[in-house]
Amino acid sequence: MKDTGKNIIIAGVGGQGILLFSNLLSKFYMKLGYELKISDVIGLGQRGGGVESHFRYSTNPVLSPFIKAGDVDYLISFEQTETLRFLHCLKEDGIIFTSTYELTSTSVNTGLQKAMPGSKTEMILAADSTKYIINPDEHKSTEFDISKMMNIVMLGYYAEFRGYAHDDMIQVVRENVPAKFVEANLKAYQKGVSIACVEFASKESKVCVC
Amino acid sequence: MEKLMLLGDEAIAQGAVDAGLSGVYAYPGTPSTEITEYIQNLPLAAELGIHSDWSANEKTALETAIGMSYAGKRSLVCMKHVGLNVAADPFINLAVTGINGGMVVLVADDPSMHSSQNEQDSRFFARFANIPILEPSNQQEAYDMAYAGFELSEKFKLPIMLRVTTRLAHSRAGIARKPVQPQNQYKLPDDPRQFILLPAIARRRYKMLLDLQPDIAADALTSRFNQYIDGTDTSVGIIACGIAYNYLMENYPDGCPHPVLKISHYPAPVDHINRLIDTCDRIMVLEEGFPLLEELIKGISHKGPKVHGRLDGSLPRDGELNPDLVAKSLGLPLAESMEMPEIVANRPPSMCQGCSHIDAYAALNEALKPYGSGRAFSDIGCYTLGALPPYNAISSCVDMGASITMAKGAADAGMFPAVAVIGDSTFTHSGMTGLLDAVNEKSPITIIISDNETTGMTGGQKSSGTGRLEDICKGLGVEPEHIRVFVPLKKNFDEMVSVIAEELAYKGVSVVIPRRECIQTAMRKKREEVKDLNKKSNCKQ
């Protein structure tokens, strides 16, 4: 294994399928023979709180369930405020994968805190790190509901970015989502792959294999 | 055998099942809930007939587990740290009676109060009771300790505390399993008087417990869970307890240059500690929780060895540890990272859209308007979020059941009307006895039992009194005409307000029950119905 491991923060809000995303990824890395440690900070996710998963895979045993500050390789986020919350954890050469989806915090809705002025997307764009941004509104499909399956879209996107064998990842998806939803999930996965292909072709930063 | 990817909680559950467990007893409480849930959902546990139903509270859970131990079988009882306060009476006495079948008391502490009213270090309780503690540093050790804990318990005929904290309970790692052991046979205690704590017997048993202490200490000294690891740089020696050991080693990927004493089995191994003190210039103590060992080693005289930790500011006095705090305490360089923009809004929890508590609070606030604020006492549950805007509906949240008794106390002091807001599960956990006090004195209080027919805060576990709340209240002596039930929905707003207003005006005990199923469990049921329909239609094909 050339890749000796990565530290990933997966972030978003309750109901976005972050735990499924982290679960699928863990099954994939286990099959590759990596050691894993995953810390799910659910907070009170289903009651409007944030969800944060510290995901670590390595060829060596993983010790701390926490990733040290400044030691995050990838930040994969499904909500823009959450992306901004974890930007500071990234390594110098860390990479951001984020959706432009936005859910206003209850603390703002109830007037406990002021709303952030300006565009969050622009704040993310201003970060020094390499970033890959997906706007779900630009990728709506009649075959699946992207507002519910952004997690699987992101999985396809991430797998393409990493150059992983899609057959293996798809197998993990098949084995771990309810039978009824497999087809829609595979469509979402393919969507993620094709968004990535277009993105990487235009940036010429990655060689597309699809 | 392929490794299982398990939460720390799940690893404990699997370890206990594989060790020949006969029953788990618990009341849900973050971060311990997943242990019992795992056993409830484990096909192997069902096959082996392992008991796993929820108990009404932690005290009944612990006592039932003692009963199972009395009958010779291995029992596990699980709770969060504040649950041990509720179960403290049987817990302390259990150390005096000792056990028959092996018994593990699992306590999950929540430093940083992610989902709790306080932070406590349950190791103090075990020290108080004079029993051994196992404190895993990782998920595999959590499995191994649950597996070995019963044997250790039976060896000394004492209960064992297995102590974890939130981060270990709620993170996953690969677990290697051991062979499944058969359950113990039904067998009464050899000494028929062992569990009778009459003073004459209790004095004898307590002496036995004290006499056992040197043996327990000797056992911990040679335990495979404790480890003295030599190091060349003796400027500091490090004691790392439980998960803190992992935070320490995370900072030294190539091995720690300092001598390290890893402690995961208490009583703390004094010989190892003395060796560390003799070898090193000063001692750093890393503990997840209170500075228990730090204080003991430092001693009361301040003439002991140079000890650093949470007491001298090397580490924060409160909150959970992490690798960065440990690095800082040892003077290691920290990664330079950008600051989080101050502008990023917090995301505090809030009640779900469509939650029945919201409608109940809307009606209560309206009905209380003529009387002014500051008279609604509340309790532990999702409805505690009614303290936040826009509801600002309640004035207290102290401990399970305190809403009713505090309302009674305030009424005794002249408050009228005084109101209690309590959930159905919290009511059967600790509210019923307080209600009896109020009934006995005909206290002028109105109790809102906001009944969502589940234990909502912890994810929707069975609630002990579902379907029987009115009967329970009647049985405790509440007058039937002052037990009022309605469905909390926007469209019923006027009805709800007038019902609550009538009962507020009554100068005796009233119980108002807004009843509508938790929106989360209702949605889950709906999803499962769809799944079932799906299965059936697949079968037809």
CB contact under 8 A, A113 and B352: no
**B138 contacts on A by Cβ (under 8 Å):** 63
Q: Could you say which residues from 322 to 361 on chain B have a Cβ atom under 8 Å away from some Cβ of chain A?
A: 322-324, 327, 334-341, 343-352
Q: Is the pLDDT of residue A47 over 70?
A: no
The answer as to CATH 3.40.50.970 being correct for domain B356-521 is yes
Rg over alpha carbons for chain B, rounded to the nearest Å, is 26
pLDDT digits (tens, 9 = 90+) for B160-213: 999 999 999 999 999 999 999 999 999 999 999 999 999 999 999 999 999 999
Q: Which of A99, A112, A52 is nearest to B348 (CA)?
A: A112
HEC profile for B270-305? Answer: HHHHHHHHHHCCCEEEECCCCCHHHHHHHCCCCCCC
Q: Is the pLDDT of residue B79 over 90?
A: yes
**A73 contacts on B by Cβ (under 8 Å):** none
Q: Which residue of A has its CA nearest to B138?
A: A63
**Residue-level pLDDT at B169:** 96
- A120-152: string of b/e by CB count within 10 Å (b at 16+)? beebbeebebebbebeeeeeeeeebebeebbbb
Examine residue B444 and say whether the peptide bond preceding it is cis (omega within 30 degrees of 0): no
CA distance B102 to chain A (A): 31
Beta strands in chain A (DSSP E): 5-13, 35-41, 50-58, 72-77, 90-99, 130-134
pLDDT digits (tens, 9 = 90+) for B109-136: 999 998 899 999 999 999 999 999 999 9
Q: Token pair of B479, please?
A: 């007058």
Rg over alpha carbons for chain A, rounded to the nearest Å, is 17
pLDDT digits (tens, 9 = 90+) for B499-535: 999 999 999 999 999 999 999 999 989 988 877 776 6
Q: Token pair of B172, please?
A: 């996953």
Q: Is the pLDDT of residue A125 over 60?
A: yes
**Residue-level pLDDT at A50:** 83
pLDDT band at residue A210, thresholds of 50, 70 and 90? very low
Reported ipTM exceeds the 0.95 cut: no
In degrees, to the nearest 5, what angle opens at C-alpha B43 toward C-alphas B37 and B46? 80
Topology of the domain comprising A5-209: Pyruvate-ferredoxin Oxidoreductase; domain 3 (3.40.920)
The Cα B458–Cα B381 span in angstroms is: 9
Average pLDDT rounded to a whole number, residues A125-152 = 93
The Cα A157–Cα A159 span in angstroms is: 6
Q: Token pair of B524, please?
A: 């889950």
Residue A98 contacts residue A75 (beta carbons within 8 Å): yes
pLDDT band at residue B348, thresholds of 50, 70 and 90? confident
**Residue found under tokens 């001693």:** B299
Q: Token pair of A95, please?
A: 């990479």
Examine residue B348 and say whether the peptide bond preceding it is cis (omega within 30 degrees of 0): no
Supply the mean pLDDT for chain A: 89
Pick one of 3.40.50.970, 3.40.50.2000, 3.40.50.300, 3.30.465.10 as the CATH number of B3-186+197-221. 3.40.50.970
For the entire predicted model, the pTM comes to 0.94
HEC profile for B382-450? Answer: HHHHHHCCCCCCCCEECCCCHHHHHHHHHHHCCCCCEEEEEEHHHHHHHHHHHHHHHHHCCCCEEEEEE
pLDDT digits (tens, 9 = 90+) for A166-175: 999 999 999 9
Residue spans per domain, chain B: 3-186+197-221, 227-329, 356-521
Topology of the domain comprising B227-329: Rossmann fold (3.40.50)
Residue spans per domain, chain A: 5-209
**A41 contacts on B by Cβ (under 8 Å):** 114, 170
Average pLDDT rounded to a whole number, residues B78-83 = 98
Query: Measured between CB atoms, does A37 come within 8 Å of chain B?
Result: yes
pLDDT digits (tens, 9 = 90+) for B7-26: 999 999 999 999 999 999 99
